[in-house]
């Protein structure tokens, strides 16, 4: 039985790698891909979703829709320093065969998410790998409809580890903490894939030499380009470590035994100040399955299998 998924993303480099893994996994049927402002502005995110689908060429053309271009509250932040101006690390997508590898959905992403929940009650896993604005808008619009989702798998947060935007907050949550609070309190079953676990796996120059380069497929070559790996100097051009945050969230859906979870009660800090966007463990709060451990080797095997 394949798992029906909808992926809400802010295509950046790791989101792009997550899309490749998802569409190349026989375990998943990706029904829709929705874009949200995050790593880069919404227009660039949506262009990147179309670029990646032209590259992946999924036989079952997913529905795609544009979502929020700013958070519910607070300043809009981006991460061009990590993902480049184009959000794909400057990687050039070869396949522009003029075909359309998607079905355009004419309304807002939040409506597409709700339509999928209504059409496939208790079957849809919504994988959210960007800020949670679209999910919060859908919950505001039709909370009962959103409860027809089977579960949410969310890449985000830093629970017992340091944040990557402030010492306390991770990018997807920090970008829209009000949205995150609404989603956490929705009552929908949630699996959280925070930095606590995504920082346990990263690509090294040695891995790129031994596992990526020899593949020499369009997707392994995209990985080399998008992560800025320099095959001459055997180094990543602008960073020492390349994390696979979003691919790990997808992998947790494909193969849940890859991750070790603990059920924790969590809350999101939405007050301005030092702890804005921080996720804290509380005595009484929404119970969320938090991934705190991963079988890194088995995950990387699954990840590299998606590049073939």
Binding site for Ca ion (CB under 5 A): 10, 15, 129-130, 246
Q: Give least dist CB 132 to Ca ion, A.
A: 11
Nearer to Ca ion, 63 or 129 (CB): 129
Long-range Cβ pairs for the range 301-306 (8 Å, 24+): 302/21, 302/251, 302/254, 302/255, 302/258, 303/17, 303/21, 303/244, 303/247, 303/251, 304/211, 304/212, 304/215, 304/220, 305/24, 306/20, 306/21, 306/24, 306/25, 306/219, 306/247
Selection from ligand RIB, Ca ion, none that 164 binds (CB < 5 to 8 A by kind) is ligand RIB
Q: Please, what is the minimum distance in Å from the beta carbon of residue 299 to ligand RIB?
A: 16
Cβ-based nearer residue to ligand RIB, 43 or 122: 43
- Residue whose CB is less far from Ca ion, 93 or 145: 93
171 binds, among Ca ion, ligand RIB, none (CB under 5 to 8 A by kind): ligand RIB
Q: At what angle do helices 13-23 and 245-254 cross, to 10 degrees?
A: 20
Which of 40, 82, 45 lies closest to 227, judged by CA?
82
User: Which does residue 50 touch among Ca ion, ligand RIB, none (CB within 5 to 8 A, set by kind)?
Assistant: none
Q: What is the DSSP letter of 121?
A: T
Are the C-beta atoms of 185 and 152 separated by less than 8 Å? no
Q: Are 125 and 4 in contact (CB under 8 A)?
A: yes
Is 245 catalytic? The answer is: yes
The tokens for 125 are 């896993």
Interface residues toward ligand RIB, by CB under 6 A: 10, 12, 14-15, 38-39, 129-130, 155, 164, 170-172, 245-246
Least distance in angstroms from the C-beta of 33 to ligand RIB: 14
On whether the CB atoms of residues 176 and 8 are closer than 8 A, the answer is no
Q: How far is the CB of 195 from ligand RIB (least distance, A)?
A: 7
Which of 78, 83, 108, 245 is catalytic? The answer is 245
Select 15 or 196, whichever has its Cβ closest to ligand RIB.
15
Nearest CA-CA partner of 170 in 192, 142, 151, 144: 192
Distance (Å, whole) CA 225 – CA 219: 10
Q: Choose between 55 and 148: whose C-beta lies nearer to ligand RIB.
A: 55
Shortest separation between residue 84's beta carbon and ligand RIB, angstroms: 12
Catalytically annotated residues:
245
């Amino acid at each position: 039985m394949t798992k029906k998924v909808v992926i809400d993303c802010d295509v950046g480099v790791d989101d792009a790698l997550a899309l490749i893994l998802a569409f190349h996994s026989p375990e998943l049927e990706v029904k829709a891909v929705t874009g949200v402002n995050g790593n880069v502005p919404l227009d660039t995110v949506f262009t990147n979703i179309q670029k990646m689908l032209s590259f992946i060429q999924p036989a079952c053309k997913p529905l795609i829709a544009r979502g929020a271009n700013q958070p519910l509250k607070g300043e809009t932040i981006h991460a061009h320093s990590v993902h480049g101006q184009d959000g794909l690390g400057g990687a050039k997508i070869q396949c522009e065969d003029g075909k359309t590898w998607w079905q355009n959905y004419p309304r807002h992403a939040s409506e597409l998410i709700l339509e999928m929940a209504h059409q496939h009650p208790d079957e849809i896993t919504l994988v959210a790998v960007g800020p949670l604005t679209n999910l919060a808008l859908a919950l505001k619009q039709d909370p009962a409809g959103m409860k027809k989702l089977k579960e949410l798998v969310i890449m985000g947060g830093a629970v017992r580890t340091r944040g990557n935007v402030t010492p306390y907050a991770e990018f997807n949550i920090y970008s829209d903490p009000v949205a995150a609070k609404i989603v956490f309190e929705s009552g929908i079953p949630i699996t959280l894939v925070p930095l606590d676990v995504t920082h346990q796996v990263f690509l090294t120059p040695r891995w790129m030499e031994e596992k990526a380069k020899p593949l020499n497929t369009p997707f392994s070559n995209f990985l080399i380009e998008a992560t800025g790996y320099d095959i001459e100097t055997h180094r990543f051009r602008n960073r020492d470590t390349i994390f696979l945050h979003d691919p790990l969230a997808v992998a947790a859906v494909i193969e849940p035994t890859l991750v070790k979870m603990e059920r924790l009660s969590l809350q999101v800090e939405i007050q301005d100040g030092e702890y804005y966007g921080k996720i804290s463990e509380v005595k009484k709060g929404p119970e969320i399955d938090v991934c705190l451990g991963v079988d890194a080797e088995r995950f990387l095997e699954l990840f590299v299998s998606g590049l073939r």
